[in-house]
Amino acid sequence: RASREGRPARYPKIDFCEFPQGVCSSDETYGGELQWMIGLFEWADRIQTYDKDGWNFIEKLKEFCDGGYTDFAFVDAVSGILNIGCHDPPCQGFSNSAVEPHNKRERNDTFQRFLNEFKVARNFPPPPPPTPLPSPAPTYEPTEAEPTTAAPTSIGQPTEIPTSSSRPTSIQGRPPAEAVTNIENALKSSRSRFEKFLLKSEYPTGAWPSYLYTWRGFLQALRKMTTGVGPGEKNWFFIGDGESPNSLQLGLINLASFVAHGVTQAIKYDSCDENNYEMVDFRYPISNACGQNGRSYQDDMCTGGDEGEGYECEVDSSMEMYGVTHARWIGAPPPLYCGDKSTGYWDHFKGLEINDPPFANLAGRADVRGCCWWGRGVMQVRGVCAYGKLNYYLGKRAAESRR
């Protein structure tokens, strides 16, 4: 759509509405940047702009940095925003009931590991000089001088409200060149640690370098989301404002949070497609393709300032699509799929899909009609709103709309 409307579309040949599986099954995926790119875009569009009920992501990011990297409730709140749509879990975000984010503890642990491994500097302001102790006795004898004014001067109201430390300014716009240079230098100097500790996936034979999520693909996508073309005028990944003394630290903390969630959701499993993980009576419903953790992906309408903008993809109940990756734990279900059919469950003891009789997931779905919007990529982008935005800013709709 970006290409049609005259905007420089990053992926003009991929229609993310007609073929959302293009995220995991295109030439841009394996060893490339696409699975990283859509995650960075999702983060910039939905996480960095989060501002509800007094909780503003950028302000809380700065508070965490200024507060000495100690209040890790910040990470749990971000887990809630990303995974269930609200910042104070257990809470009711995308679902009709209060739930907890999936793997919340693991996300928090990975975030802290990022900060430790990359030695994020802690630039605290110097303490104020100590107040001198009072002298033991008056230096001079008291005098009886005449008062200098006829009457005490009255104290008026202050002319201005005291200012507080400002939040970073360059949030939605293109990051300053200095911020880009600083973050790239910091990452390049830590490349070996990044690959060793973060780009590792768990296989039955042990931990191995990820096949899908590579250093090269990550750096390419980050460059495009900070200096290149494709994200639109407002969806830039925040890497610092280039002005504050702790600008680099702010960018690294934002990046640490992004990567921590990516490791937990996708990199750990070397998976591009969402894993089928939610059980009902010790069975994995095939209809989990329609949504997990209380969500219904085909009903994820855009809200807030995006409501009514027409971003959402249309749902086609006859669309057929098959995932290509899945979890590797013992008895794990095969890749998710969608199509015009009723479905059952995966029997992890027998290693078989049982569809007769149909078997419902926790939301009561026993079919996969119109259920092609499961999570994909490093951030597991889900739902018709998210895929519609990808198409609008990065995909075929961007290429054809000529705006």
Q: Angle 137-140-143 (CA atoms, 0-180°, nearest 5)?
A: 125
How far, in Å, CA of 292 to CA of 87, rounded? 18
Bridge partners of residue 233, in order along the sequence: none
Model confidence at 173: pLDDT above 80? no
Average pLDDT over residues 102-130: 71
The predicted-structure confidence for 54-80, as pLDDT tens digits, reads as follows 999 999 999 999 998 989 999 999 999
The predicted-structure confidence for 305-357, as pLDDT tens digits, reads as follows 899 999 999 999 999 999 999 999 999 999 999 999 999 999 999 999 999 99
Radius of gyration of the chain (CA): 26
Six-digit token string for 185: 């230098």
pLDDT band at 2 (very low <50, low <70, confident <90, very high): low
Is 35:212 a contact under the CB 8 Å cutoff? yes
pLDDT score, position 8 = 63
How far, in Å, CA of 4 to CA of 13, rounded? 11
- Residue length of the chain: 403
pLDDT score, position 115 = 86
With left for phi above 0 and alpha for psi between -120 and 50, is residue 99 left, alpha or beta? Answer: beta
Q: Could you identify the residue written with the tokens 């293109």?
A: 174
Q: What is the mean pLDDT of the chain?
A: 85
Identify which has the larger pLDDT, 295 or 168.
Answer: 295
Identify which has the larger pLDDT, 300 or 8.
Answer: 300
Alpha carbon 287 to chain centroid distance?
25
pLDDT score, position 10 = 84
Burial category of 322 from C-beta neighbours within 10 Å (exposed 0-12, middle 13-18, buried 19 and up): middle
Of 379, 395, 316, 282, nearest in space to 46 by CA: 379
H helical segments located in 23-176: 34-42, 57-66, 73-84, 104-117
Identify which has the larger pLDDT, 199 or 1.
Answer: 199
Model confidence at 138: pLDDT above 50? no
